[in-house]
A and B are shown apart, each in its own frame.
Chain A
Amino acid sequence: MTIAPTATPAKPRRRRRRNLTLTIGIVVTAAFMAMALASFFYLPHNPNVPRIPDRLLPAGSPGYLLGTDALGRDIFSQLMVGARTSLTVGAGGALISLVIGTIAGLSAAAFGRVADETISRGADIMLSIPGMVTALVLAATIGSGALTTILALSAFFTPSFTRVIRSAALSVMQEDFITAARLYDRPTWFILLRHVLPNVAGVMIVQFTLYFAAGILTEAGLSYLGVGVTRPSISWGMMLNEAQQQVGISSPLAMWPGLAIVIVVLGLNLLGDGLRDVLDPKLARRA
């Protein structure tokens, strides 16, 4: 009996919270992308050129907004180029996973039990291989770098995309309009492209956003370990590693890249959650 009165006033409040989530997500993500794009046109300093006289300047020093590192390189410029790396590697990994995962997920949903079992079990197997370890193996064999990191992320994320898109597609396949399309003798690929794909697009967008964030975290971890991107590219994870090795953890240098990662990943996750609420009300109830 206590359920009914609380349910009604809660509704508008929840919607407002959703909009707030989405708004913060959009603002943070847009700022992050603007920073990454701006780095192609303007940098306060060259982030790879050491200036020993200016080493370890504190934040707010003239000419250096966030100070300099142990070799006198401008922190803010490095953060800007780091945003570029996070953007390309995170989005790249999520995009490849999205493409392969969509093809695999739709095939599993549409092409019968054998295809479904093969693809689903394959995804299960891949899910139980630790992504960090795959990345280490790739780094050992084909060498580290941005491209290796993107490949590792794709191998790591594709099975999740496959599973999520498969189950979304399966529930769409139950709908009457699919049966109608079948009765019209539409070929399966046509049904998938024309009817199923648009109906799972919401799930795809949400999944992409959340794994974009996960990709940024993983890339930072790999670069922190020294098996991700290498100079002249710059990664926030790499900056943390250098800060710890060159000046020890007590330096404020270890603050900025960490904060940047947290803010951007949080922003993308909020964006993903907000989008889920808008695009996919059924899923939103659970999260």
Chain B
Amino acid sequence: MPVYIARKLAFFLLAVLVASIAIFLLIRGAGGNVAAVILGKDATAEAINALAQQYGLDRPLFVQYFDWIGNLLQGDLGRSFRTNEPVTDLVVSRLSISIPLCVSGLILGLVIAIPAGTYSALNSDKPLGAVIALLSQVGIAVPVFWAGILLSLLFGVRLGWLPTGGWTNWDVSLWGAVRSLVLPVISLGLILGASLTRYVRSAVLDVMNQDYVRTARATGMTRMQALLQVGLRNAALPIATVVGLQIAELIGGTVIIETVFSLPGLSRMILANVAAREVIVVQSTVMLIIIFVMFINLIVDLLYGVLDPRVRLAR
């Protein structure tokens, strides 16, 4: 197990390193002269040079890279060019919206997908099993923002039960904050749940066709017993992998759903800064998100090792 953990940890660090270089080059390489981009088309050469000098943008790229990554490791994400606000402050204030949204969406997705997928795998020839498979197929085709629009149309406009958008901060009203998150979380969770249902279904179908399940059945277990005692533990592995991969998708969904419901979360902050060409803010925030996703994947990999002795003992 220690070797397994060390390998996964080494890969995590390598992945973060590669991703940081890629993001840096993508932004600096594709963006051209950053100072010129920030100041816009009408800026004079002097102004551009002055800004470049002030922020060290005139130094060689690799010096800037190590400067950025060194500061990042110490928790300093840089400052906004326009407002001079530290990026860390910008990010932290938004996390109290984005993290609950993202995590509750994921939990709701799993709460929908695991029972629904298992049921439809075990009852694929019954009507309800087929209906679940069909619903999940349709759900996969629904864009998350359209789900958001429809839900807020129904519960916000027609029924008036919940706000159609906007945000009440946690310290103003706890209930208000929860109310403004309900529809966004349901939209995210439903759409994520639809695609996860498909994966759970195929993982369970796969497992139920394995020899060890047949052996378990042969010892006199019912299908349900075989599933619970032998099947689920084996199906958990591919499901965990898919959930890890879906985190990246989930973040994309969060970006969009924050816009649908005008929640001032992290992704709306990124969007505003993309529009304002705040290169450093975008670069650092995006890197943070990537590290977060990679970290979740690391956890999934380690979990894999815990769940399956074959994985942790291999090589």
Question: What is the interface of chain A, defined by CB distance below 8 A to chain B?
Answer: 6, 10, 121-122, 124-125, 127-134, 136-142, 213, 217-218, 220-221, 224-227, 237, 240, 244, 249-250, 254, 258, 261-263, 265-266, 269-270, 285-287
Is A221 in contact with B144, judged by CB distance below 8 angstroms? yes
- State in angstroms the CA–CA spacing of A135 and B118 once bound together: 35
A286–B282 touching, CB < 8 Å: no
Please, which residues of chain B bring their CB within 8 A of the CB of A254?
Answer: 146, 149, 153
**Across the interface, do B141 and A262 meet the contact criterion of CB distance under 8 Å?**
yes
Residues of B contacting A138 with CB < 8 Å?
Answer: 26, 30
Please pick, from B150, B209, B245, B271, the residue contacting A127 in the complex, using a CB distance under 8 A. Answer: B245
Instruction: State whether the Cβ of B104 lies closer than 8 Å to any Cβ in chain A.
Output: no
Q: Which residue of B lies closest to A21 (CB)?
A: B137
CB–CB B153/A227 < 8 A:
no
Q: Which positions 27-44 of chain B face chain A at CB distance < 8 Å?
A: 27, 30-31, 37
Contact A136–B282 (Cβ < 8 Å) = yes
B204 to chain A, nearest CB (A): 11
Residues of B within 8 A of A250 (CB): 153, 157
Interface residues of A, dominant DSSP? helix
Q: For B142, give the chain A residue with the smallest CB separation.
A: A262
Which of these, A221, A261, A263, A266, contacts B137 with CB under 8 Å?
A: A266
- Chain B residue numbers with a CB within 8 Å of A225 are 255-256, 259, 271
B274 touches A136 (CB 8 A): yes
- In whole Å, how far is A134's beta carbon from the nearest beta carbon of chain B? 8
Establish whether residues A129 and B293, one from each chain, have CB atoms under 8 Å apart when the complex forms.
Answer: yes
Contact of B289 among A6, A133, A220 (CB under 8 A): A133
- Cβ of A240 and Cβ of B138 under 8 Å apart? no
Asked if A141 and B31 make an inter-chain contact with CB atoms under 8 angstroms apart, the answer reads yes
Whether A224 pairs with B259 at a CB distance below 8 angstroms is yes
> Which residues of chain A are near B306, meaning CB under 8 Å?
none
Question: Chain A contacts of B137 at CB under 8 A?
Answer: 266, 269-270
User: Is the C-beta of B89 less than 8 angstroms from some C-beta in chain A?
Assistant: no
A contact residues around B205 at 8 Å (CB): 286
Establish whether residues A129 and B271, one from each chain, have CB atoms under 8 Å apart when the complex forms.
no
B251 at the interface (CB under 8 A from A): yes
A249, B297: Cβ atoms closer than 8 Å: no
Contacts of B15 in A (CB 8 A): 121, 124-125, 128
B273 proximity list for chain A (CB < 8 A): 140
B275 proximity list for chain A (CB < 8 A): 226
Residues of A within 8 A of B30 (CB): 138, 141-142
Judge if B202 is at the interface, Cβ distance under 8 Å.
Answer: yes
Q: A136-B271, A221-B252 are in contact. Are A266 and B143 (CB under 8 A)?
A: no
- Tell yes or no: B290 within 8 A of A by CB: yes
Q: How far is the CB of A75 from chain B (nearest CB, A)?
A: 16
B274 touches A121 (CB 8 A): no
The residue of chain B having its C-beta at the shortest distance from the C-beta of A262 within the complex is B141
- CB-CB contacts of B196-208 with A at 8 A, as 1s and 0s? 0010001001100
Using Cβ atoms and an 8 Å threshold, which residues of chain A touch B283? 137
A/B interface sample: 30 pairs, CB < 8 A: A127-B248, A128-B245, A128-B247, A128-B248, A128-B290, A128-B297, A129-B19, A130-B251, A132-B251, A132-B256, A133-B270, A133-B286, A133-B290, A136-B271, A140-B31, A140-B277, A141-B37, A227-B271, A227-B274, A240-B145, A249-B153, A249-B157, A254-B153, A258-B143, A258-B150, A261-B142, A262-B141, A265-B141, A266-B138, A287-B202
